[in-house]
Structure 1
Amino acid sequence: MASVNVYLTFNGNCKQAFDFYKSVFGGEYPYIGTFGEMPPTEGKELPEEDKDKIMHVSLPISKETILIGSDTTCEWVPHYKQGNNFSISINAESKEEANKLFNGLAVGGQVTMPMADTFWGAYFGMFTDQFGINWMVNYDDPAKMQQHP
């Protein structure tokens, strides 16, 4: 069965927010990475001011729950709205389950990133459902995850 977590989006202060959450919940970041650390996108140069922004951070806050987040950059900044800056993140147990959940929940909605293999080793997609709720679906293939630290 899939696990469900909240994915928070920030406008440049993700690290500050997650350091605050970490001070309250405790624990450590299993991963924290910046946009400047990701591979270049063909035809797109990342603005210098976005390179130190957080691309992905996760903080386990219980045995079952992980708080996940990132900053917004480039063309996504105008769409950022404080108070509506979160998505529901589903971590599926198989690629088939990821496709089933993505295709089922996206009916009548708007796909913003189709399900696809990513540079970080996951099978991932995003959409806004027909009710305006933002979703992320992820499957971490164990074979691919061993290749990407």
Structure 2
Amino acid sequence: MLELSGKFEEAFDVYKSVFDTDYITPIARMGEIFPRGSEVDLSDFERNGLVNMELSVVGSHLLMAGDMIDSLGQKVSIGNSTTTNLELDDVDGARDFHEALSQGAIFCAQPSQTPWTSLWGAGLDRFGIRWMFNVILQN
């Protein structure tokens, strides 16, 4: 079984490389929000968890994430938590992103033309995040 807890920083380091970009703001950790002795008693592992991180990707798309914290009653299920859809302008770029994010993927629908797009592809990456890529048909 794929473990999601504490994986967003690792995932975003991969996404940073794939999209050739950088973090927009400093990474914020749970320990900054809930320091030792606060009303919420977090483990050291949870205290190091992410409250927020932001990464600029294609165009004006912005990815934001934070870890789920067991002590706060948060749970996530792999594959149904979210789908990140990228609307792209060119087929080659979409294929490149799909290939990069498919490394070690759990599931991949290979990019292909559909009745509604010039190219569509999807996959569940090695971090349990589902991606879709669309290049819209030009009339």
TM-score by length of 1: 0.45
Higher-strand-fraction structure? 1
Which has the higher Rg, Structure 1 or Structure 2? 2
